[in-house]
Amino acid sequence: MSFYENAKKMLAKSAEIIKLEQGIYEQLKKCTKTLIVSVPIKMDDGSIKVFDGYRVQHNTARGPGKGGLRFHPNVTLDEVRALAMLMTWKCAVVNLPLGGAKGGITCNPNELSVNEIERLTRRYTSAIIDLIGPEKDIPAPDINTSKREMGWIMDTYSMNVGATTLGVVTGKPVEMGGSLGRETATGTGLYFILEEIAKKLDIDLKNATIAIQGFGNVGSSFALRLYEEKVGKVIAVSDLKGGIYNPDGINCKELFEYAKRNKGVSNFKGTKNITNEELLTLDCDFLVPAAIEGQITEKIAPNVKAKVIIEGANGPTVSAADDILNKKGIVIVPDILANAGGVIVSYFEWVQDLHSFFWDLERVQSELKRLLKKSFNDVWEISKKYNTNLRMAAYILGVSRVADAMKMRGLFP
């Protein structure tokens, strides 16, 4: 089952539980707008290369589209559609006045120079310019994009419309209207979710064991927060090249500096090198898949020993694996709740840009914690009400909120 088919399957399940009217369901199965663009750029050697680009808006009933832009060789239209749909539910679960969107370019940024990436980003922005804007669709960083690319998008958009437009993207440099705390927001949010689920399950966080798959922006910022708070024992970490393991715990601050210098976590002092699959099946209290989708498969699921999975990535658990894990009694905090810290602080940045009034870091993190704590407890209560797992509860909440907005708006004409 493809990622997109899996996303639609979850919609169908939640629609059946809440008895969603057929007309609304038929609309939610499809994406409102899908743009496929050809992105030609001049390479450094003078040749012309053409890349495929996508921007998809799934639903904007609750507000402008919101969603990241990823640069990756495996980007496909189906993947972008699925991610746009997940963004719709994610924004609704945490009760933001935003809809779901996503973008991507099929490329390998590791094979491109900085100048080529800049030309690619700016050309793509020009190609999708009619679809985006502060009141239409607001991109943000995702896999292999960062504040650098968001700055280029803002500048390109502003030059085209003839006015500096801060609110067209989020995740920008602070000097260009970005928000304090945005870069680490998803990892910080994971930490707040960890606190909440530990309370509900009566797990002693101070001595809890944690394995983190993925040491990019999300995984590393989560690990550093654990280090700062002196919470838990991180026993394993992995990245694209492999993983490391130390049952006595890993110093995540030292690992962060090591990974920056060595372009990976492998061979870190005092650890044993392990595979990604070995990390996913370690005996631990919390497993945090924070890499990319489709990592916990039906082959791996029977061997997962974690008590709790907190999904830092989008769609890291395939549908068949989800069923296996639920039968094993493993608690899963789903992606559309667990990793919503990024979109929440993106929303804060957008609000700050629109009003040209910027918050300090304390306010950003305080508001982030408040929103995530409330959203987690909303989902927890729905799981009790419907006697279902947290993933289905989150979908019930997200789909219900979007459906309610659609009903109130009616159908034009």
Name residues whose C-beta falls within 8 Å of residue 2's C-beta, 6 or more positions apart in sequence.
Answer: 78, 82
**Distance separating alpha carbons of residues 268 and 291, to the nearest angstrom:** 19
Instruction: Output the CA–CA distances (angstroms, integers) from residue 361 to 181, 224, 354, 364, 371, in the order listed.
Output: 6, 17, 18, 5, 15
Which of these is catalytic: 102, 147, 172, 369? 102
CB 152, CB 121: distance < 8 Å:
yes
**Distance separating alpha carbons of residues 66 and 59, to the nearest angstrom:** 10
Amino acid at residue number 381 = E
- Grouping H, G, I as helix, E, B as strand and the rest as coil, residue 371 is helix
- Grouping H, G, I as helix, E, B as strand and the rest as coil, residue 189 is helix
299-306 contacts: CB < 8 A, separation 24 or more?
A: 301/325, 301/328, 302/328, 304/280, 304/328, 304/330, 305/281, 306/211, 306/282, 306/330
DSSP 315: S
Based on the residue annotation, tell me whether 233 is a catalytic residue of this protein.
Answer: no
What is the H or E stretch that residue 100 is in? Answer: strand 99-106
Name residues whose C-beta falls within 8 Å of residue 111's C-beta, 6 or more positions apart in sequence.
Answer: none
Catalytic residues: 102
